[in-house]
Amino acid sequence: MPAAESRDAWSAMPSPPTDRVVAVVEFLASRPAEPATVAELVRHLGFNRATCHAVLAALVRSGWVLRDPAEKTFTPGPALIALGRAAESGVPAARAADGELAVLAKDLGLTATISYPSGDHIVVGSRSPATPSGGDTVRVGQRYPFAPPYGPGLVAWGTAADIERWLGRAPRTDDAGLRRFHDVLAAVRRRGYTVESMTAASRRLGEVLAELDSLSPRQRPAVTELLHEIGGIEYLDDDLRDGQPYPISVMSAPAFAGDGTAALNISVHVWRDLDPPTIRAIGERLLTASHAVTRELRGTAPPDFPAATRR
Is residue 203's pLDDT more than 80?
no
- Nearest CA to 117 out of 85, 90, 153 is that of 153
pLDDT, tens digit (0-9, with 9 covering 90-100), for 252-264: 999 999 899 999 9
The pLDDT assigned to 185 comes to 95
pLDDT, tens digit (0-9, with 9 covering 90-100), for 36-46: 999 999 888 88
Q: Is the peptide bond before 149 cis (omega within 30 degrees of 0)?
A: yes
Is residue 291's pLDDT more than 50?
yes
DSSP string, 166-228: HHHTSS---HHHHHHHHHHHHHHHHHSSEEEE--HHHHHHHHHHHTGGGS-TTTHHHHHHHHH
Helix (H) or strand (E) holding 115: strand 111-118
- How many Å apart are CA 54 and CA 50, to the nearest integer? 6
The least confident of 120-134, 147-161, 172-186, 291-305 is 120-134
- How many Å apart are CA 229 and CA 151, to the nearest integer? 15
On whether the CB atoms of residues 207 and 227 are closer than 8 A, the answer is no
pLDDT, tens digit (0-9, with 9 covering 90-100), for 217-230: 555 555 555 555 55
